[in-house]
Amino acid sequence: MKNLPSLEGVQQAVSRLNNVIRKTPWEFNKRLSAKTNASVFIKREDLQQIRSFKIRGAYNKISSLNESERGEGIVCASAGNHAQGFAFSCKKLEIQGTVYMPATTPQQKVTQVRMFGEDFVEIVLTGDTYDACQKQAIKAAKKEGKTFIHPFDDKEVIEGQATVALEILEHTSAPLDYIFVPVGGGGLISGIATVLKSHSPKTKIIGVEPKGAPSMQQALVSGERIALKKMDRFVDGAAVRQVGVIPYEICKSSLEKVITVHEGKICQTILDLYNKEGIVAEPAGALAIAGLEQMQDELEGKRVAVLLCGGNNDILRMPEISERALLYASLKHYFLIEFPQREGALKEFVTEILGPNDDITHFEFSKKSYRTNAPAVVGIQLKEAADFALLVERMKIHNFNFDYLNEKQNLFQYLI
């Protein structure tokens, strides 16, 4: 395939990015090392100016444009980190750019893009999904003669992302056995692979995807790029329906494997990073770290690098993140319970059904005078996952009829 990223292109990116990006820290993590019996080092791309590695690729691409292309203006489609890297680059290079964002984008993200781009960026909110938004952006770019800056399927963007691999090699004199890289569209991991296959060929590259959006894994298994029919968008920075043409071409022969991680595990990793290291990570940022435990047996005694790729986590998402983590750990359970409409029924439930360490965290009850039983939606948090079986057994013994909502996704989605 022609026009693939090259080491020469990566070196040009280093020159373009000099004095623009931060050389982010390379930190040994004692907790993760003890957990995996390995030497685990984190590359802190969450500490870039825009709190994401995306500034590398966006700036490298935009700064490579000729004067005519710059004069015509540029366009991107993004609701997240690519938009911020794009906006930062527009202001830095004094180029007029237009950012297309889905109409459903939270105001916090719109404000961030406007802050980085100031008067050099126009924001257009269109479409209910990213796919619809991107189609509008590409159509507008063609009609207006502007350059579309793709978030991952572009040679110069990939070469910009690849500079993180050169920095990692500068950080360490000893060989790396493994590197864990988050995968969305594939721009970051294909850039890292471009560098490591030449400079550190024995390093095994592990791609990590969300379980609900395994586009690279399915492409590698199928032998061709495929578009996911269903996708969980929770890990928004890595939930991509179809990987890029260029990333797929590189990754199909460069990766050791691609693993998927449950979204609940990612949420628990976010909470652990915040509570134990004071690190704010977004879901895609914590993705690669969440994959370490899955390969624990293979990592023992090895030197391991892991990318923490972004820290743009909206604080308003934390209740949902906490909830998903508890559900994944089987510590939070929802039931639709039929309560007898008699005095003392609720007291009986609290005293006879709940265990000593169980806690009611959600309760919705509507009393109907003409019924003998009335349903209540009850959320119960446990201290130990093993307590669930005992809780269910007590409800059966005391004749509390119930439906378990955790397994009924059509109903359950309204609770979290």
Mark residue 275 as left, alpha or beta (left: phi above 0; alpha: psi -120 to 50; beta: remaining).
alpha
- Model confidence pLDDT, tens digit, residues 33-63: 999 999 999 999 999 999 999 999 999 999 9
Residues 47 and 183 in one domain: yes
- 400 and 261 together in one domain: no
Residue-wise pLDDT tens digits, 203-257? 999 999 999 999 999 999 999 999 999 999 899 889 999 999 999 999 999 999 9
**pLDDT value at 373 more than 80:** no
pLDDT of residue 415: 64
Whether residue 283 has pLDDT greater than 80? yes
Asked if 287 and 199 sit in the same domain, the reply is: yes
Q: Does the pLDDT at position 123 exceed 80?
A: yes
Which pLDDT score is estimated for 196?
98
Report in angstroms the alpha-carbon separations of 162 from 106, 155, 166, 231. 30, 10, 7, 27
In this structure, are 255 and 187 located in the same domain? yes
Task: Based on the fold, state whether residues 179 and 234 are members of the same structural domain.
Answer: yes
Are 143 and 14 members of one domain? no
Q: Tokens 């509507």 — which residue? A: 366
159 and 279 share one domain: yes
| Predicted confidence (pLDDT) at residue 1 exceeds the cutoff of 80 | no
CATH number at residue 272: 3.40.50.1100
Give CA–CA dist 260/293, Å, rounded: 12
Give the structural domain span for 310: 7-54+154-323
16-34 pLDDT, tens digit per residue, is 999 999 999 999 999 999 9
What number is the average pLDDT over the span 132-140? 93
Q: What are the pLDDT digits (tens) for 297-341?
A: 999 999 999 999 999 998 888 999 999 999 999 999 999 998 887
pLDDT at 300: 97
CA dist 43 → 149, 184, 386 (Å): 26, 18, 37
Report the CATH number at residue 337: 3.30.70.260
Quick check: 245 and 153 in contact, CB under 8 A?
A: yes
pLDDT above 70: residue 410: no
Which of 148, 167, 195 is the last residue before a domain boundary? 148
Same domain for 241 and 270: yes
**170 lies in the same domain as 295:** yes
Q: Flag the least confident range among 79-93, 105-119, 165-179.
A: 105-119
Domain assignment present for 2: no
How much is the pLDDT for 416? 59
Give the residue from 105, 120, 148 where a domain finishes: 148
Same domain, 266 and 191: yes
Distance CA 233, CA 208 (A): 15
> Across 312-414, where does the E strand assignment appear?
332-340, 359-365, 373-381, 402-404
Arithmetic mean of pLDDT, 360-380: 81
Domain total in the chain: 3
Which tens digits make up the pLDDT trace of 69-100? 999 999 999 988 999 999 999 999 999 999 99
**Close Cβ partners of 169 (under 8 Å, ≥ 6 residues apart):** 195, 199, 200
Domain-terminating residue out of 303, 323, 343: 323
Q: Please provide residue 78's backbone torsions phi and psi, each rounded to the nearest 5 degrees.
A: -170, 145
- Checking if the pLDDT of 278 tops 90, the result is yes
Q: Are residues 214 and 131 in the same domain?
A: no
Tell me: do 192 and 290 sit in the same domain. yes
